Protein backbone atom coordinates (compact mmCIF):
# COMPACT_ATOMS: atom_id res chain seq x y z
CA UNK A 1 0.00 0.00 0.00
CA UNK A 2 2.85 2.38 0.75
CA UNK A 3 4.55 2.71 -2.66
CA UNK A 4 1.43 3.71 -4.70
CA UNK A 5 0.59 6.44 -2.20
CA UNK A 6 4.12 7.83 -2.31
CA UNK A 7 4.13 7.75 -6.11
CA UNK A 8 0.82 9.62 -6.30
CA UNK A 9 2.12 12.18 -3.81
CA UNK A 10 5.30 12.76 -5.81
CA UNK A 11 3.37 13.14 -9.07
CA UNK A 12 1.18 15.77 -7.43
CA UNK A 13 4.20 17.74 -6.31
CA UNK A 14 6.07 17.52 -9.61
CA UNK A 15 3.24 18.14 -12.04
CA UNK A 16 0.63 20.23 -10.19
CA UNK A 17 2.56 22.99 -8.41
CA UNK A 18 0.42 25.33 -6.31
CA UNK A 19 1.31 28.84 -5.27
CA UNK A 20 1.71 29.07 -1.50
CA UNK A 21 -1.21 30.94 0.07
CA UNK A 22 -0.43 32.88 3.25
CA UNK A 23 -4.11 33.65 3.93
CA UNK A 24 -6.55 30.76 3.48
CA UNK A 25 -10.24 30.45 4.25
CA UNK A 26 -11.07 26.77 4.72
CA UNK A 27 -14.68 25.67 4.27
CA UNK A 28 -13.61 22.01 4.58
CA UNK A 29 -13.09 20.78 8.17
CA UNK A 30 -10.76 17.97 7.06
CA UNK A 31 -8.54 20.48 5.23
CA UNK A 32 -8.40 22.65 8.36
CA UNK A 33 -7.51 19.62 10.49
CA UNK A 34 -4.89 18.66 7.91
CA UNK A 35 -3.36 22.14 8.12
CA UNK A 36 -3.20 21.87 11.91
CA UNK A 37 -1.60 18.42 11.71
CA UNK A 38 0.99 19.77 9.26
CA UNK A 39 1.80 22.74 11.49
CA UNK A 40 0.29 25.10 8.93
CA UNK A 41 -2.75 26.40 10.79
CA UNK A 42 -1.24 29.92 10.88
CA UNK A 43 -2.25 30.09 7.21
CA UNK A 44 -5.93 29.56 8.08
CA UNK A 45 -7.49 33.00 8.62
CA UNK A 46 -11.09 31.82 8.16
CA UNK A 47 -12.87 28.56 8.91
CA UNK A 48 -16.24 26.90 9.54
CA UNK A 49 -17.78 26.30 12.93
CA UNK A 50 -16.93 22.59 12.49
CA UNK A 51 -13.23 23.28 11.97
CA UNK A 52 -10.70 23.07 14.82
CA UNK A 53 -9.49 26.27 16.43
CA UNK A 54 -5.95 27.22 15.42
CA UNK A 55 -3.14 26.52 17.86
CA UNK A 56 -0.67 28.88 19.56
CA UNK A 57 -3.09 31.80 19.71
CA UNK A 58 -3.39 32.19 15.91
CA UNK A 59 -6.40 34.35 14.98
CA UNK A 60 -9.01 32.68 12.76
CA UNK A 61 -12.55 33.88 12.07
CA UNK A 62 -15.59 31.62 11.77
CA UNK A 63 -17.37 32.45 8.51
CA UNK A 64 -20.23 29.94 8.70
CA UNK A 65 -20.85 26.21 8.79
CA UNK A 66 -20.29 23.53 6.17
CA UNK A 67 -23.52 24.30 4.28
CA UNK A 68 -23.96 28.05 4.73
CA UNK A 69 -21.21 30.67 4.77
CA UNK A 70 -21.02 34.46 4.86
CA UNK A 71 -19.46 35.47 1.54
CA UNK A 72 -18.84 39.04 2.68
CA UNK A 73 -17.02 37.79 5.76
CA UNK A 74 -14.80 35.63 3.54
CA UNK A 75 -14.01 38.53 1.23
CA UNK A 76 -13.22 40.83 4.18
CA UNK A 77 -10.45 38.45 5.25
CA UNK A 78 -8.58 39.13 1.97
CA UNK A 79 -7.79 35.45 1.35
CA UNK A 80 -5.21 34.29 -1.18
CA UNK A 81 -7.23 31.10 -1.53
CA UNK A 82 -10.46 29.47 -0.38
CA UNK A 83 -10.78 25.71 0.09
CA UNK A 84 -14.34 24.66 -0.77
CA UNK A 85 -16.23 21.39 -0.39
CA UNK A 86 -18.93 19.73 -2.52
CA UNK A 87 -21.41 21.27 -0.07
CA UNK A 88 -20.25 24.85 -0.62
CA UNK A 89 -23.04 26.71 -2.41
CA UNK A 90 -22.37 27.29 -6.11
CA UNK A 91 -23.30 30.96 -5.83
CA UNK A 92 -20.61 31.42 -3.17
CA UNK A 93 -17.97 29.77 -5.35
CA UNK A 94 -19.03 31.83 -8.38
CA UNK A 95 -18.92 35.09 -6.39
CA UNK A 96 -15.44 34.37 -5.07
CA UNK A 97 -14.12 33.46 -8.51
CA UNK A 98 -15.68 36.64 -9.94
CA UNK A 99 -13.60 38.56 -7.39
CA UNK A 100 -10.46 36.75 -8.62
CA UNK A 101 -10.13 34.74 -5.41
CA UNK A 102 -8.65 31.31 -6.08
CA UNK A 103 -11.00 28.51 -5.06
CA UNK A 104 -9.66 25.00 -4.51
CA UNK A 105 -12.48 22.46 -4.38
CA UNK A 106 -11.85 19.21 -2.53
CA UNK A 107 -14.24 16.34 -3.32
CA UNK A 108 -15.17 13.82 -0.66
CA UNK A 109 -12.42 11.18 -0.84
CA UNK A 110 -13.26 7.56 -1.58
CA UNK A 111 -10.08 5.94 -0.27
CA UNK A 112 -6.99 6.42 1.86
CA UNK A 113 -4.98 7.18 -1.28
CA UNK A 114 -7.31 10.07 -2.10
CA UNK A 115 -7.07 11.30 1.48
CA UNK A 116 -3.28 11.35 1.14
CA UNK A 117 -3.54 13.21 -2.17
CA UNK A 118 -5.70 15.88 -0.55
CA UNK A 119 -3.25 16.12 2.35
CA UNK A 120 -0.49 16.81 -0.19
CA UNK A 121 -2.66 19.47 -1.81
CA UNK A 122 -3.15 21.21 1.54
CA UNK A 123 0.58 20.88 2.18
CA UNK A 124 1.46 22.42 -1.17
CA UNK A 125 -1.03 25.24 -0.70
CA UNK A 126 0.40 26.10 2.72
CA UNK A 127 4.07 25.55 1.88
CA UNK A 128 4.24 22.37 3.96
CA UNK A 129 4.46 19.72 1.24
CA UNK A 130 7.47 17.98 2.80
CA UNK A 131 5.58 17.65 6.08
CA UNK A 132 2.60 16.24 4.18
CA UNK A 133 4.79 13.65 2.45
CA UNK A 134 6.33 12.62 5.75
CA UNK A 135 2.93 12.33 7.44
CA UNK A 136 1.47 10.33 4.56
CA UNK A 137 4.35 7.89 4.65
CA UNK A 138 4.32 7.42 8.43
CA UNK A 139 0.57 6.79 8.54
CA UNK A 140 0.69 4.45 5.54
CA UNK A 141 3.41 2.36 7.16
CA UNK A 142 1.49 2.30 10.45
CA UNK A 143 -1.68 1.20 8.67
CA UNK A 144 0.15 -1.60 6.87
CA UNK A 145 1.53 -2.82 10.20
CA UNK A 146 -1.87 -2.69 11.91
CA UNK A 147 -3.59 -4.59 9.12
CA UNK A 148 -0.92 -7.28 9.05
CA UNK A 149 -1.54 -7.87 12.75
CA UNK A 150 -5.23 -8.69 12.23
CA UNK A 151 -6.54 -11.71 10.38
CA UNK A 152 -10.25 -12.45 11.01
CA UNK A 153 -10.96 -16.11 11.67
CA UNK A 154 -13.91 -15.97 9.26
CA UNK A 155 -15.35 -13.47 6.76
CA UNK A 156 -17.14 -10.67 8.61
CA UNK A 157 -19.91 -8.42 7.34
CA UNK A 158 -19.92 -4.89 8.72
CA UNK A 159 -22.19 -1.87 8.89
CA UNK A 160 -20.88 1.61 9.70
CA UNK A 161 -23.46 4.08 10.99
CA UNK A 162 -22.36 7.70 10.59
CA UNK A 163 -25.70 9.45 10.95
CA UNK A 164 -28.93 9.29 12.93
CA UNK A 165 -32.30 10.97 12.51
CA UNK A 166 -32.32 9.86 9.73
CA UNK A 167 -30.15 6.78 9.94
CA UNK A 168 -27.21 6.97 7.55
CA UNK A 169 -24.51 4.42 6.79
CA UNK A 170 -21.14 4.50 5.02
CA UNK A 171 -21.43 3.05 1.50
CA UNK A 172 -18.70 1.39 -0.63
CA UNK A 173 -17.97 4.64 -2.49
CA UNK A 174 -17.03 6.39 0.78
CA UNK A 175 -13.50 6.45 2.23
CA UNK A 176 -14.66 4.73 5.42
CA UNK A 177 -15.24 1.61 3.31
CA UNK A 178 -11.48 1.51 2.75
CA UNK A 179 -11.06 0.85 6.47
CA UNK A 180 -13.34 -2.18 6.18
CA UNK A 181 -11.51 -3.50 3.12
CA UNK A 182 -8.10 -3.17 4.74
CA UNK A 183 -9.30 -5.15 7.76
CA UNK A 184 -10.89 -7.83 5.60
CA UNK A 185 -14.49 -6.81 6.33
CA UNK A 186 -17.36 -6.67 3.82
CA UNK A 187 -19.78 -3.74 3.77
CA UNK A 188 -23.42 -4.85 3.99
CA UNK A 189 -24.44 -1.72 2.08
CA UNK A 190 -24.18 -1.08 -1.64
CA UNK A 191 -23.62 2.23 -3.38
CA UNK A 192 -26.64 4.50 -3.03
CA UNK A 193 -27.91 2.72 0.10
CA UNK A 194 -26.72 5.23 2.67
CA UNK A 195 -30.24 5.77 3.98
CA UNK A 196 -30.86 2.03 4.50
CA UNK A 197 -33.02 1.63 7.62
CA UNK A 198 -31.86 -0.13 10.75
CA UNK A 199 -34.42 -2.88 10.16
CA UNK A 200 -33.17 -3.44 6.62
CA UNK A 201 -29.56 -3.56 7.85
CA UNK A 202 -30.50 -6.18 10.47
CA UNK A 203 -31.97 -8.39 7.74
CA UNK A 204 -28.50 -8.50 6.16
CA UNK A 205 -27.14 -9.98 9.41
CA UNK A 206 -24.02 -7.87 10.03
CA UNK A 207 -21.40 -9.44 12.26
CA UNK A 208 -19.97 -6.05 13.21
CA UNK A 209 -21.71 -2.69 13.66
CA UNK A 210 -19.46 0.36 13.91
CA UNK A 211 -21.11 3.53 15.20
CA UNK A 212 -19.80 7.11 15.12
CA UNK A 213 -20.26 9.12 18.31
CA UNK A 214 -22.31 11.57 16.20
CA UNK A 215 -22.27 14.51 18.59
CA UNK A 216 -23.64 12.46 21.48
CA UNK A 217 -26.19 10.42 19.50
CA UNK A 218 -23.80 7.50 19.09
CA UNK A 219 -24.27 6.02 22.57
CA UNK A 220 -28.02 5.82 22.08
CA UNK A 221 -27.61 4.18 18.69
CA UNK A 222 -24.96 1.81 20.03
CA UNK A 223 -27.24 0.66 22.86
CA UNK A 224 -29.92 -0.27 20.32
CA UNK A 225 -27.47 -2.30 18.25
CA UNK A 226 -26.16 -4.02 21.37
CA UNK A 227 -29.58 -5.63 21.79
CA UNK A 228 -29.05 -7.54 18.55
CA UNK A 229 -27.75 -11.06 19.33
CA UNK A 230 -24.46 -12.04 17.75
CA UNK A 231 -23.47 -8.53 16.69
CA UNK A 232 -20.20 -7.01 17.88
CA UNK A 233 -20.56 -3.26 18.37
CA UNK A 234 -17.80 -0.66 18.24
CA UNK A 235 -18.09 3.05 19.06
CA UNK A 236 -15.64 5.34 17.22
CA UNK A 237 -14.95 9.04 17.75
CA UNK A 238 -16.83 11.06 15.12
CA UNK A 239 -13.82 13.22 14.25
CA UNK A 240 -11.49 10.26 13.69
CA UNK A 241 -14.11 8.41 11.65
CA UNK A 242 -15.71 11.34 9.88
CA UNK A 243 -12.83 13.70 9.14
CA UNK A 244 -10.62 12.34 6.34
CA UNK A 245 -6.99 13.09 7.10
CA UNK A 246 -4.23 10.44 7.01
CA UNK A 247 -3.79 10.69 10.79
CA UNK A 248 -7.48 10.32 11.60
CA UNK A 249 -7.91 7.47 9.10
CA UNK A 250 -5.12 5.55 10.84
CA UNK A 251 -6.57 6.31 14.29
CA UNK A 252 -10.05 5.09 13.32
CA UNK A 253 -8.67 1.95 11.66
CA UNK A 254 -6.47 1.18 14.65
CA UNK A 255 -9.36 1.67 17.09
CA UNK A 256 -11.61 -0.66 15.10
CA UNK A 257 -8.84 -3.23 14.71
CA UNK A 258 -8.12 -3.28 18.45
CA UNK A 259 -11.82 -3.64 19.24
CA UNK A 260 -12.16 -6.57 16.83
CA UNK A 261 -9.28 -8.36 18.54
CA UNK A 262 -11.06 -8.35 21.90
Last-in-domain residue among 112, 142, 172: 142
Given a cut of 70, is residue 186 above it in pLDDT? yes
Last-in-domain residue among 92, 118, 142: 142
- Buried/exposed code over 83-110 (b: 16+ C-beta within 10 A; e: otherwise): bbbeebeeebbebbeeeebbbbebeebb
DSSP 25: E
Q: Does residue 134 lie within any of the structural domains?
A: yes
Instruction: Let me know whether 124 and 61 are in one domain.
Output: yes
Mean pLDDT of 156-173: 96
Q: Are strands 156-163 and 168-169 parallel, antiparallel or unpaired?
A: antiparallel
Q: What is the pLDDT of residues 14-30, one digit of tens each?
A: 555 668 999 999 999 99
Instruction: Let me know whether 252 and 198 are in one domain.
Output: yes
Q: What is the pLDDT of residues 100-110, one digit of tens each?
A: 999 999 999 99
Domain with 89 in it: 2-142
What CATH number is given to the structural domain containing 177? 3.40.50.1980
Cis peptide before 85 (omega within 30 of 0): no
| The predicted structure's pLDDT at residue 7 | 55
207: left (phi > 0), else alpha (psi -120 to 50), else beta?
Answer: alpha
Instruction: Let me know whether 132 and 218 are in one domain.
Output: no
Instruction: Let me know whether 115 and 205 are in one domain.
Output: no
Given a cut of 60, is residue 11 above it in pLDDT? no
Q: How far is CA 186 from the centre of its chain?
A: 20
Q: Does residue 147 lie within any of the structural domains?
A: no
Mean pLDDT of 121-147: 97
Instruction: Let me know whether 88 and 177 are in one domain.
Output: no
Number of domains in the chain: 2
Q: How many degrees, rounded to 5, is the angle at CA 106 between CA 140 and CA 81?
A: 115
Task: Give the DSSP H/E element, type plus range, for residue 168.
Answer: strand 168-169
Instruction: Let me know whether 120 and 231 are in one domain.
Output: no
Could you write out the three-class secondary structure of 66-126? CCCECHHHHHHCCCCEEEECCCCCHHHHHHHHHCCCEEEECCCCCCHHHHHHHHHHHHHHH
Instruction: Let me know whether 14 and 119 are in one domain.
Output: yes
Instruction: Let me know whether 115 and 200 are in one domain.
Output: no
Instruction: Let me know whether 174 and 206 are in one domain.
Output: yes
Write down the mean pLDDT value for the chain.
92
Amino acid sequence: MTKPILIISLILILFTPLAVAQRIVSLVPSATFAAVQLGADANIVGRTSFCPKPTNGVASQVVGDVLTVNTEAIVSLRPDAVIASPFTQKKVVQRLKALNIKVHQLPTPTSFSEICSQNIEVGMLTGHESEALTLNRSQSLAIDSICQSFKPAKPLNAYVQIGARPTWGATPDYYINDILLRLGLSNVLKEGEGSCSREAVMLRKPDVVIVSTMGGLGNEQLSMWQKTPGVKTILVDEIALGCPTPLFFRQALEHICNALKK
